[in-house]
Amino acid sequence: MDLVTQNQCFGGTQSVYRHASAVCGVEMTFGLYLPPQARTRPVPLLWYLSGLTCTHENAMVKAGLQRHAAEHGLALLFPDTSPRGEGVADDEAYDLGQGAGFYVNATQKPWAQHYRMYDYVVTELPALLEAHFPLNGVSGITGHSMGGHGALTIAFRNPERFRSVSAFAPIVNPTRSDWGRKQFSAYLGDDEAHWGKYDACLLLSELGWRGDILIDQGAADQFLGQLQPEAMARLMAERRQPGMLRMQAGYDHSYYFVASFGEDHVRWHAERLNAA
């Protein structure tokens, strides 16, 4: 693991690391913020999964989460959204290939060789972090858009690893969305029976979630047709699932939206992770 950059930030350190990933078969890059509290004790970790076209850097630079994490004593992790580099399959479209890993384990050519973001997030990267950084083993997960999809599906399938989950404008029902059907067909094949384990609505219906859920959605989001928050709202009501899905008037899909409600999400996770 190589340190790429490191900067002081709100009394802690914002670092970027690069490492060889056995799961993805290429070098991967991630950002890690350690709050000032990490100098004296292990701290909980909040994962932030980014959306389409993003790298580790977008939320790290634009979302402004470090200030709130420092206040509450949380580490922040910003992984990349896909494998990258020479020899890694790609597509001319922005919503498939590099920058659009959808947090799945691809099974179809040419994607299967490198696109194993589910295993990377659930297994490989946590082991690396726990071995090298002052983390206490308590984790929550959040994300935006495609990353919100990743956060919800990964948490629902791995409640032993993630104690809390939230999302900003997530793709909640990708098996019924243009943002999902195209990618799942490419990465997973045309048999839709293999798609359900990456659909937050289907997983919540099947597995439930032991805690509560926080979702913020901009009411002026230009991608509401693909995100389908109403599907998750109906399901949460039908299941009497504890949580909140808040429609925020006037907000779109941008990082201005994420930054506006980031403090709420960090505080919400801190209350659950620090009490664990």
Predicted confidence at residue 4, as pLDDT, reads 98
Give the architecture (CATH level 2) of 2-273.
3-Layer(aba) Sandwich (3.40)
Angle at 214 between CA 38 and CA 199, to 5 degrees: 105
Q: Domain residue spans in the chain?
A: 2-273
Predicted confidence at residue 275, as pLDDT, reads 86
User: Dihedral sign, CA of 264, 266, 267, 271?
Assistant: positive
Residue 128 CA: distances (Å) to CA of 12, 14, 22, 38, 186: 20, 17, 11, 17, 29
Q: Which residues are identified as catalytic?
A: 145, 221, 253
Q: Lay out the sheet containing 27-34: strands in order across.
A: 2-9, 12-20, 27-34, 75-79, 43-49, 135-143, 162-168, 213-218, 243-248
- Asked whether the beta carbons of 19 and 2 are under 8 A apart, the reply is yes
Residue 234 CA: distances (Å) to CA of 76, 173, 177: 31, 12, 16
pLDDT tens per residue across span 226-261:
999 999 999 999 999 999 999 999 999 999 999 999
pLDDT tens per residue across span 120-153:
999 999 999 999 999 999 999 999 999 999 999 9
pLDDT tens track, the chain, 276 positions: 999 999 999 999 999 999 999 999 999 999 999 999 999 999 999 999 999 999 999 999 999 999 999 999 999 999 999 999 999 999 999 999 999 999 999 999 999 999 999 999 999 999 999 999 999 999 999 999 999 999 999 999 999 999 999 999 999 999 999 999 999 999 999 999 999 999 999 999 999 999 999 999 999 999 999 999 999 999 999 999 999 999 999 999 999 999 999 999 999 999 999 986
